[in-house]
Chains A and B, each alone.
Chain A
Amino acid sequence: MMSRRQGETILIGDDIEIVIAHIGRSRVKVGIRAPRRVQVVAQEVKLVGDENRAAAQAPSAEVLQLILAQLRPGPHTLRPRPDEESVRQDAGTKN
């Protein structure tokens, strides 16, 4: 752990420099100077990259049908609610 004020800098090794550029209410702006070979990304971007690599192939037709079947449940999976039946009966007696 290291405590820093706005405008102060942290050095990592000889060639990485981190500047606390601005401290806001809920976020901090950080400036990073690093050699080109060092990748600097927010952790979310790394997560999304990993996720994209896992997602990069189209699934088989069977898997697709499975997803679709779950997205659109067929009529046989829908049970009428108990109250629907009584509503229909009421409507019938009115006519």
Chain B
Amino acid sequence: MRQLRAALARIAGFFTGHRADDDLQDELQSHLDMETAEYIRRGMQPDEARRQALLMSGGLTQAAEAVRDQRGLPWIDGVVADIRYALRGLRHSRAFTAVVVITLALGIGANTAIFSVVRGVLLKPLPHRDGDRLLYLRQSVDGPGGANIEFSVPEINDFRNGARSLGAIAEFSPYTLTLQGKDDAVRINAGLVTGNFFEVMGLSAVAGRLTGPGDDGPGVPPVMVLTQEFWQRRFNGDTGIIGKQVRLDGTSVTVIGVLQAAPYFPDRADALLNMVISPHHLSAQMVQGRTHRMTEMIARLAPDATVPQARAEVTAVYSRMQRDHQDAYDPGSHYRVAVIPFKEVLGERARLTLWLLMAAAAFVLIISAANVANLTLMRGVQREHELVVRAALGAGVARLRRLLLVENLALTLVGAGFGVLLAIGGVRLLTSLAERYSPRASEIRLDGVVLGYTSALAVALALLLSFLASLPKEGTFASWIAAGMRRISGSLKKQRLQRGLVVVQVAVSVVLLAGAGLLTRTMIQLSNVSTGLRTEQVLTMEVPLIAPATATLADDVDAKQRYQRMQREMQAIHGVIDVGVGSIMPLGTSQIQLEIKAEGRMLAVGEAIPRAEYRTADPLYFSAAGIPLLRGRPFAATDQEGAGRVVIINQALANQFFPGEDPIGKRIAWTGDVLRFTPFSGDWRTVVGVVGNTQDGGLDAEPRPVVFMPFAQELAITGVLVLRADTDVGGLAAAATRVVRGIAPAAPIENVMTVAQIKDQSVSPRRLNAALVSLFGILAVIIAAVGIAGVLAFSVNARTTEIGIRMSLGADSGRVQRMILSEGGVLLAIGLVLGVAGAFLAARLIQGLLFGVAPYDPTTFIGVAILMAAIGIGACWLPALRAARIDPAITMRAL
């Protein structure tokens, strides 16, 4: 109670200090007066009495100070004074403050921005209920396109029945539908899901309802759940749409609800529907065909089950499956299943890139901090005089330390403030990068946690800086003063610390530069990769005219006629050279990959069953796309429905099937159990041509074997128009779109892109990567250069007298210059050696991000070392020149 009352009184005293001060002065004065009067009464002269009274008081100021300490909160008073003092001091050394704040702002800003991305994409808890219990299962085989071959329904059912630790399993089939609007049509990416999908995923509706088990199976009405983004984009977030019917592929579907915002997974989807929309998904083929793999699988761990248990069980069930159905699992292809926690799989493509950037940003911060530490140390030396005076006036070491801390906090917090401003811009840029790697990019926020991280960073830096400065032990100030207040330090110990920091800066800069160099070379190598096409003046547009699930033969005939009309009309556009039609755009990849065989060719022992992409092309497709014909002939108008079955293969397949032979005239055929579920026949077909490989699916992708079928002989499942022009083909997009609109007013038109744009899609994330790391590298080098120059300048300053003496004893300015240069050169050399060693390690870690350049690329490493050495020597030169200009006469006189 008493303590509380006293504490309250003190807090009140803290605020009413000024009034109480006057009161106290009066009281002390009255005391003094009474005492003086007493001495006079005893017979002293008034002056003497007053002197005696003052003597006895022990000092009025000291008394007032003691009372003030008792009255208010002296600690806060002190801190407020310190802050005022610190700010005044920083205002007076503007250059120092500016350099430190800018350095810190860059370091902290980079860290804040990248941390907010790392957090949003990798660390934040998932929006799914108990998201850490969600598992994704992935089936893979060897070879291009085999990383994820999805599951068949029988396989999923085996896991349902066999793996108890997977509490519930939901299915998701990617599916494309055309949504017919009032006056347009769009293709939407949908997911066909089982009724338990949302329950398993732990997601809820923001409006309406989600699908449930009652929506499974045939005989139920088709319903659709919109994702929030699509709902906003297409329906302007109007809840009135719920309960309404929309036309999807010609079928009426009821919109039942809107899903909460969540990462798109397993696939990007605008809407999720029950299976009934696609009769095929409920057919016996689909439900019983073990090789008919087109379903993604999500599982929620059973209560009490753990991920390792689930892994063990899945492995056991899977090997039993492979034993029981040997025909469905070709041993040469190495079928395997991975069980991956959700958070991991959602971040898997972004992880390496983001940690790389995080590490680069951390390096920049280390260099910044080292620089600030050096600046602070140097300033500390210049301030020794001031600190000694303060100590003489009664400030203890703790008090001085507190002053330093307050000063450094002011610096780091202001730096952090500007850093956050930088980060706000940076986050926007980084989000566009993250979108290419992660479905969680929309969760990136500069939120409270990130700001907390930033503040923690600032405070930690301030603490580090404050305790780096060495203050003398309590009670040794006297010796400082006795030393005549000349510079006491320049002490070797402090210089050793500064030099150590310079070495660190150089080393870290080298690591960053090496990373930047490797990534920049990767990007250059990648953009120099030939697409395999003869020209970039190619425009593509995807115009699907029929819905594969419901199309009739008559629809197909009609669609083909319309494509021909489009071709004819586009051909008439000024500047167009060729117009072709095919199923897949040049440099694109097809989802349809089938097993294939060549007549008379036996599989080698242990060889995986060959697979190839299925595509179609019309007679003009290759010349329009600029795909070179290496042998044989292109398709001809005579390769019609009912004519001889012919195919054109690409170089990759030709090399695989007919190495050293002429493939023309050889016969190949689709094969495998899965053909039963497709419209593709396994008839033998004669190879009439071989075309060159193209960089399908990215400039860094392996060429995949491809089989082109005549467009006229196959179902027109998709239709891509390809235009080649003599000049600027991008300018023809509008005219080409008008042609399509005239012939198919309601058809969706998608992927209107030039080949240059397609190519850029695979280069641009790398370009951003390389640009960011290079930016960090350049920053690091600049900061490090400032650091080297600063430390040497300080050293020259501290050794002015010594240099003066040397010069007066006959050392010429060249010699002095060399002395300072070699002082810096040693630091530079040590830093370079350590940096190159560190860069070798770092390069191994980022190997996965490199393309066309070895992690130990000698050109990069030598270049980086030379660059760093050149900049470092340049930074040493300035202080060396200054040392050489020291006038011995002046320095000697100052002694």
**Is chain B a partner of chain A in the same complex?**
no
Q: Which residues of A contact B (CB under 8 A)?
A: none
Q: Which residues of B contact A (CB under 8 A)?
A: none
